[in-house]
Amino acid sequence: MSGNTRKIIHLDCDCFFAAVEMLDHPEWCEVPLAVGGAAERRGVIATCNYPARRFGVHSAMSTARALQLCPQLKLVSGNMARYREVAERIFDIYRRYSDTIEPVSIDEAYLDVTGSPLFDGSATRIAQAIRQQVREETGITVSAGVAQNKFLAKVASDWNKPDGLCVVDPMRQAEFVAQLPVKKIPGVGPRTQEKLLGLGVETCDQLQQLSQQQLTELFGRFGERLWQLARGQDNREVRLSRERKSVSTEHTFSRDLPDLAACQAQLDELLADLERRYEKHREQRRIIGAVAKLKFKDFSQTTAETRSSRPDKALFMALIEEAWQRGQKPVRLVGVGYRLDTAEGDAEAVQLPLFDSDA
């Protein structure tokens, strides 16, 4: 990598929760294993090991579906305290190699090693050393991507999973990006992918044939981002912290809620939990908005929100009604949340998902 090029490493632990369980229970290493909620409680899979993935099981899949695909699946509820303990040991290792670390989740992070004197400044050798240290000291394998920006490093870390390393040389970056499937671009979900396929676009090379104006007309503001990422352009810096700009809670019900009144009847308990979660932010962050989320029986979902400095139950009742009217069918999940103001001195704080998972 040339002297003026950023050197970014994206590190992602392989099937982390399941990996910790296999570390603690070696007898589970060769059997299909998943960490997730019980099927009778409409649980979902948080992660699973590679023997389970051979049956088609994957994260975010309903546990009921996972058990259909793999009846012999070993399902464990998980131990978040244990996962955090192992994750902290892993991040301690990362800190030996860089002071510029951006945690993305409990098992994923970006490191900026631009200008590092370690290994003669070789980001590839730094990544190799980190992976070796993590494996030796914790027993966990980490896949790494090395590139000149966050987007490409993220894509690269997934390229040779599990226990892999992929380096995107700036001299071959255009070639690497051109052959990427568009589904690898962050933000391209099933609907966007379907729309692009309708245009005959499956790869970034094909996406590059569309102008920025065309993409903006088709996808709004996200179109400009698509145009940039299709060319491997990403100017985001590795940030030392990710300031929370929202707090939320949600609940998935074992039986569908049949109507609007049943959804609104859940508000007392949800709002009590939301207040408990907000308490630790109360002194530093003001509430500036309220959000309600519904996921319907068919897994479609919607959110309704409004600006308010003092949202009360009546406001959330109205938001729940607004959201419910869009689907008017049984509901499996209800969520509520507060939008928080920007902390002083953090005008460009990174937005975290409002309804984030414990996984």
Cα distance between residue 130 and residue 146, in whole Å: 12
Q: Is 11 helix (H, G, I), strand (E, B) or coil?
A: strand
Q: Is 346 flagged in the annotation as binding?
A: no
Is 283 part of the annotated catalytic residue set? no
Between the alpha carbon of residue 94 and those of residues 50, 66, 103, 107, 130, the distances in Å are 25, 34, 11, 12, 7
Q: Is 107 flagged in the annotation as binding?
A: yes
Encode burial over 190-227: b for 16+ CB neighbours within 10 A, e otherwise: eebbeebeeeebebbbebeebeeeebbeebeeebebbb
Catalytic residue selected from 27, 40, 108, 322: 108
Please answer whether residues 315 and 289 qualify as being in contact, where contact means their C-beta atoms are separated by less than 8 angstroms. Answer: no
For residue 259, give every residue at least 6 positions away whose Cβ sits within 8 Å of its Cβ, in sequence order, or none: 330
Sequential DSSP letters for 240-258? S-----EEEEEEEEEEEE-
State the burial class of residue 104 (Cβ atoms within 10 Å of its Cβ: 0-12, 13-18, 19+).
middle
Cα distance between residue 121 and residue 110, in whole Å: 17
Length of the chain: 359
Please report where in the chains the tokens 């990422």 appear, as a residue.
229
For the annotated binding site for Mg(2+), the residues are 12, 107
Catalytic residue ranges: 108
Please give the annotated binding residues, written as ranges.
12, 107
